[in-house]
Amino acid sequence: MQIGLVGKPSCGKSSFFKAATLIDVKITGIPFCTIEPNIGMGYVIVDCICKEYKVKCNPKNSVCKDGKRFIPVKLIDVAGLVPGAHEGRGLGNKFLDDLRQASVLIHIVDCSGTRDAEGKVTIDYDPSLDIEFLEKEIDLWFAGVIKRAIEKFARISTSSKSDLVQVLTENLSGLGITKEHINLALEKSSIGDVENFATVIRKVSKPIVIAANKIDMKFSQENYEKLKERYEDLLMIPTSAESEIALKKASERGLIEYLPGDDFNILDASKLDERQKNALETIKNEVIKKYGSTGVQECLNKAVFDKLNYIVVYPVADINKLTDKNGNVLPDAFLIKKGTTLKEFAFLLHSDIGERFIGGLEAKTKRKLGAEYVLQNNDVVEILFKR
C-alpha cells in the first residue's frame, strides 16, 4: 500500500512529505523542485490494543508510545503536475509513471491563492482550478489506456463481459487497477462512454484526500471555506505542513511535548528564544486552536482508514501470552483491507503459512476461527498451520 502525494509545482508537496517523514528533501519556491520522486515512510497512528489487554508491548515493525501505535506507511512525493500533463507537458509523463502503484492520493492544494496552475507567483488564484485540472489530467491518462484496451477487445472474436474484464485487467494492471476495481466501475458506468468510465475507474482505484495546505496564510481560510462549499463530496482537511515540520523539530529537540495530530505543550519556556516562542504561539493560535491540528497526520489516517477502508490486525504465535516465538508482546500490527479473510491474511504473512494453513485462534474469546472468518479491526489472532 502506497500513498501518493500529488499537486501542482510549489503547492507544498515536498513540505508535506518532510512533515510526514522528517526526511530532509529539497524545498524551494521554484517550480519543479521535485524531479525524482521522494520516497519514505510516514505513519498512521491508532490506539494500540495493548491498552485493552493491559500489557506492555514491544513492537518490531512499528512503534508504541503511551498506548499509541505508529504503523509505517509508504509515501511517494512525485513531480508537480501541470495542465497538459497527460500529453507529456512539464514533467507529466514522469509524474504519471511514478504514480502508477499508488493506492490512494493526497492532493496538496495551495489554499493561499498565491501560486498559479504552473506554480508561479501570482495573486487571487482560485484553488478550485487545481482540484479540477489534476483530476482531469489523471482521467485523460486513464482514458488513453482504456481506449487502447477497447481496441484490443474489439479484435477478440467473442464479446462476453468476462473477456472485456480480462482485457481491461491485463491492460490496466500496470496502473495499480485490479479486476475488482474494473467490475465495480462497470456497475457504475458504461464502457461506451470512455471518459466517464475513466473517471469512475480513477475514483475507485485512486481515491483522493484533499490537503488544503498553507491554511495559516492570508486568504487561505476564505478560500478553504469556498472549497468546502463547492466540493461537499470531497474529503478535505485544512493543513499546514510547515507548522508540522516546526512542531516535530521542536519535539525532537525536547522543547515541546507533541503527539502528531494533537496539540502540544511547551516543556521549558526558558529554553526558547523570542522567535521560537512567537512561532509556537502563532501555530497554537492560527492552526491548532482553529483546526484542531496541523492536518498532516489526519490526512494520512483518513487516506488509509476512510478512503482505503483498512483495519489493524495483530498476529501472534501465542494468543495466551500475546507473543511471537521470541517472546515479543504484540510484535506486529498489520494494515489490511476490510473484508480480508483469515486464510487470505495467512498468505499475506507468508506464502508457506497460507499453503499450510489449518485455522486460527482469536485472543479475546479464545475461539477457533475458520478459513473464511472475516477479520475485524483490532483482532489479535494466532494462525495455525502444518509444521
Q: Say what the pLDDT of residue 87 is.
A: 61
Quick count: other Cβ atoms within 10 Å of Cβ 362?
18
Residue with cell 483491507: 337
**Which residues, 6+ apart, have CB-to-CB distance to 5 below 8 Å?**
13, 16, 17, 75, 76, 77, 78, 105, 106, 108
Q: Which three cell numbers stand for residue 17?
A: 512529505
DSSP letter (8 states) at residue 257: E
Q: CATH for 127-204, among 3.40.50.970, 3.30.1600.10, 1.10.8.470, 3.40.50.10320?
A: 1.10.8.470
**Torsions phi, psi of 29, nearest 5?**
-90, 10
* CATH classification for the domain delimited by 310-385, as one of 3.30.1490.20, 3.40.50.970, 3.40.50.720, 3.10.20.30: 3.10.20.30
* Neighbour count for residue 337 (Cβ, 10 Å): 16
* 71/54 Cα distance (integer angstroms): 20
* Residue 35 CB coordination number (10 Å): 11
Q: State the 10-residue block means of pLDDT for the chain, 387 residues long.
A: 90 92 57 62 95 93 90 89 60 65 94 91 94 90 88 70 87 90 92 93 95 95 96 96 95 94 94 95 96 97 98 96 95 96 97 96 95 98 94
Q: What is the CATH number of domain 1-37+78-125+207-308?
A: 3.40.50.300
Query: Minimal CA–CA distance to 19: which of 206, 258, 222, 208?
Result: 258
SS3 330: coil
Supply the pLDDT for residue 304.
98
pLDDT value of position 340: 98
pLDDT of residue 320: 94
Q: Are strands 235-238 and 208-213 parallel, antiparallel or unpaired?
A: parallel
Instruction: Name the strand (E) or helix (H) holding 266.
Output: strand 264-266
Of 124, 295, 145, 97, give the one whose Cα is nearest residue 219.
124
- pLDDT given for residue 207 in this prediction: 96
Sign of CA dihedral 84, 13, 237, 74: positive
Task: Tell me the three cell numbers of residue 373.
Answer: 472468518
Cell of 223: 478560500
Q: Which helix (H) or strand (E) holds 138?
A: helix 128-154
**Cα(263)–Cα(257) distance, rounded to whole angstroms?**
9
Q: Name the phi and psi angles at 76, rounded to 5.
A: -130, 120
Q: Where are the domains of the chain?
A: 1-37+78-125+207-308, 127-204, 310-385
Q: Is this model's pTM higher than 0.85 or not?
A: yes
Cα–Cα distance between 7 and 9 in angstroms, integer? 7
Question: According to the model, what pLDDT value does residue 36 have?
Answer: 64
Give the closest residue to 147 by CA, choosing from 173, 167, 174.
167
pLDDT of residue 157: 53
Q: Return the residue matching grid coordinates 488544503.
A: 212
Q: How far is it, in rounded angstroms, from Cα 232 to Cα 291?
A: 18
Tell me phi and psi for residue 306, to 5 degrees: -90, -45
Handedness of CA 94, 137, 178, 306 (dihedral sign): positive
| Closest of 139, 70, 76, 71 to residue 108, by C-alpha | 76
- CA 382, CA 318: separation in Å to the nearest integer? 6
Residue 95's pLDDT is what? 62
Say which DSSP state 332 is in. Answer: -
Q: How far apart are CA 226 and CA 242, in angstroms?
A: 23
Q: What are the φ and ψ backbone dihedral angles of 33, each rounded to 5 degrees?
A: -60, -40
